[in-house]
Amino acid sequence: MDKIFLSALSVECIVGIWEWERRVKQTVVIDIEMAADIRKAATSDRIEDTIDYKKVAKRLIAFVGESQFQLVERLTEEIAKVVITEFGVQWVRVHLNKRGAIRGARDVGIEIERRATDYA
């Protein structure tokens, strides 16, 4: 299986359960791996024959930036759903990091894997 990935996509958003978190945008950092068969694009050299990671990044920046979920679990699930349903990806791994969420810990986050059949 070939994979296309985006690494360390930083987005400001409202996410959290505490009142102050509902007023202040926080940075989440997203890493995504997407299953892709890149053989056609490798032969044709055409962006139309692969997953356009720039389009994926722009869509996620807009989606996450406008979102206001309470839990990072929900935000991570919705990111996976967007990637699969809007970009025709058969499998995705999403790692979401909410830096600084816990005092004394650099990173806190979620990592999930989903398949297209999860959203059928």
| Residues marked as catalytic | 98
With a CB cutoff of 8 Å and minimum separation 6, the contacts of 45 are none
Q: How far, in Å, CA of 98 to CA of 27, rounded? A: 7
| H or E element, residue 62 | helix 53-66
Tokens representing residue 35 in the block: 């299953």
Beta-sheet strand order (sheet of 109-115): 2-13, 26-36, 91-97, 109-115
